[in-house]
């Protein structure tokens, strides 16, 4: 378990770690975009999709490797927890050779924060640090925050932990636009990366390659594939399979579209 002092959020960390909070977009029955006010500079964006249960099988994505199914964060600003949890799943598959669907609810409810956290947004990096204590599976600690947007109290059971992030922690592959080509080399040769992006224009996305986007990071997802000849990234979102291209979006490669290169990480993992 990480000490409280290590997890405190300071001004410089908040800028570099892309803290995201509970200002969100969602679609109503008429597909009109609604907004709620928030004073923070970094905001969480998510799309409410009804009747999209979390998948329980683990197919490999056709343009990537080591990916688990698309999930749905629902009515909760927990994108950071989904991005970090999915990255740990991917890295564990790659590093250990076993497959688990881990619990984003555990990370949402149990990761300590000085402010924010849970459904009010957070850092993927803090999620990786929390996971050094261990993670349960989705089956043993199901996701519930998506229904009403309530973080919930931590109910983790250490006897059920199956995977952890090691003391080596997480590694940052890119933190600026200049690192995009390094990211591409990593994803094409090694595996997915947890990334944080500007998703303010994503709510109406239905398909194709998005080439114009903002640069104010407000959402965390996972880059799972790269096609440099075709000129696009393949990114897995956490808004359910009814959104986008069966839960994925393609972003133009080579121009840091949606600030995709601003916060790209992977984790070192082990069994428990």
Catalytic one of 52, 76, 79, 196: 79
Report d(CA 249, CA 247) in Å as an integer: 7
182-to-63, 75, 143, 176 alpha-carbon distances in Å: 18, 34, 34, 11
- Cross-strand pairs, 195: 221
Please provide residue 87's backbone torsions phi and psi, each rounded to the nearest 5 degrees. Answer: -65, -40
Report d(CA 69, CA 58) in Å as an integer: 6
Catalytic one of 52, 72, 126, 219: 219
Structure tokens at 31: 């597909």
Catalytic site includes residue 110: no
- Helix H or strand E segment including 128: helix 124-130
Catalytic one of 72, 126, 237, 256: 237
Catalytic site includes residue 237: yes
Report d(CA 142, CA 150) in Å as an integer: 14
Contact 216, 200 (CB under 8 A): yes
Positions marked catalytic: 79, 219, 237
């Amino acid at each position: 378990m990480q000490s409280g002092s290590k997890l405190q959020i300071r001004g410089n960390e908040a800028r570099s770690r892309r803290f995201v909070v509970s200002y969100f977009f969602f679609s109503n029955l008429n597909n009109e975009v609604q907004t709620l006010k928030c004073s923070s500079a970094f905001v969480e964006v998510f799309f409410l999709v009804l009747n999209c249960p979390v998948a329980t099988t683990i197919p490999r994505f056709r343009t990537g490797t080591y990916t688990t199914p698309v999930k749905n964060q629902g009515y909760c600003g927990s994108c950071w927890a989904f991005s970090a949890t999915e990255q740990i799943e991917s890295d564990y598959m790659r590093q250990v050779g076993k497959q688990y669907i881990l619990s984003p609810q555990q990370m949402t409810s149990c990761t300590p924060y000085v402010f924010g956290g849970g459904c009010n947004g957070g850092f993927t990096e803090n999620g990786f640090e929390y996971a050094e204590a261990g993670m349960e599976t989705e089956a043993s600690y199901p996701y519930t925050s998506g229904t009403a947007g309530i973080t919930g109290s931590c109910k983790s059971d250490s006897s059920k932990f199956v995977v952890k992030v090691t003391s080596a922690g997480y590694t940052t592959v890119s933190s600026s636009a200049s690192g995009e080509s390094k990211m591409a080399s990593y994803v094409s040769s090694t595996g997915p990366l947890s990334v944080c992006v500007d998703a303010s224009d994503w709510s109406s996305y239905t398909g194709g390659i998005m080439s114009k986007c903002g640069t104010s990071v407000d959402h965390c997802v996972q880059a799972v594939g790269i096609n440099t000849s075709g000129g696009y990234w393949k990114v897995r979102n956490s808004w359910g399979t009814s959104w986008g291209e069966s839960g994925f979006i393609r972003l133009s490669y080579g121009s840091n579209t949606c600030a995709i290169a601003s916060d790209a990480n992977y984790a070192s993992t082990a069994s428990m």
